[in-house]
Amino acid sequence: MNQIRLRDKSLLRRYEIIGAIAVCILAPVFHFLFEWSGGNLFVGMFAAVNESVWEHTKIVYFPFLFYAIAEYFILKPDFQRFLIAKAASMGLILLLMITFFYTYSGMFGVESLIVDIIFTFVLTIIAFIVSYRIYTSERGYEQYFLLALLLFFAVLAMELFFTAFPPHIPLFQDSVTGSFGFPAA
C-alpha cells in the first residue's frame, strides 16, 4: 500500500480544490464549445453537441479527465492508486448526474437549468472529495486497479462512441430538437 506523507496530502488537497474549481469553470465552457467552434466534429467529441442528458455528462467528464491528466504529470502520484481514485470518482459523478436528472425531472415533471447547474457543481466537488479520500486512505485499494482501468477505458470509449453513434433511447435524445448525436449539417 502506498503511504503518502502529510505534506503530500496537503499538496494533493490543494490540487483537488483547484481541480474542483477548474472543472466548475470549464463545465459551462464545454457546454457551448461545440457551438462556438462552428460545429467542429473533433471539438464535438469532447464537448456537448446537443441537449441530451448523455451529452451533458461530457461537460464534466472531459474537463475532469484533462485536469486529472495534468494533475498526474505535475504531482507524479502512485499511478495505481491515482487511477483508482480518479476512475471511481469519475464513474460516481456520471452515474449520479444521470440518476439525479431522471429522478428530479421524473418526480416533479420539470427541468430546471439552475438546478442542473447547482447539482453539477455539487457533484463535481463531491467527486474531487471522493478522489482525495480514496487516494489518501490507509485502506488498500490496489485490488481494484484492473477494475478501475477497465472502467476508465470503458467510460472514455462510451463518451466518444455514443456521440457519433448514439442509441435511439431518451438518454441520448436532444430535449430541444428530438434528434440524436451530432446535429444534421
Domain segments of the chain: what residues? 6-172
By the 8 A CB rule, do 60 and 26 touch?
no
Q: Where are the alpha helices (DSSP H) in 37-168?
A: 41-44, 53-75, 79-108, 113-136, 145-164
What is the rounded CA–CA span in Å between residue 130 and residue 147?
Answer: 17
Element (H, E) at 112: none
Per-residue model confidence as pLDDT tens for the chain (185 residues): 444 554 578 899 999 999 999 999 999 999 999 999 999 999 999 999 999 999 999 999 999 999 999 999 999 999 999 999 999 999 999 999 999 888 887 778 777 888 888 999 999 999 999 999 999 998 888 899 999 999 999 999 999 999 999 999 999 999 889 999 998 75
The pLDDT value recorded for residue 141 is 86
**Per-residue pLDDT, 34:** 96
Q: Provide CB contacts within 8 A for 119, sequence distance 6+.
A: 97, 100
Kindly report the length of the chain: 185
Grid cell 430546471 is found at: 112
What confidence score (pLDDT) does residue 158 get? Answer: 96
Query: Which pTM value belongs to this model?
Result: 0.90
Contact 45, 160 (CB under 8 A): yes
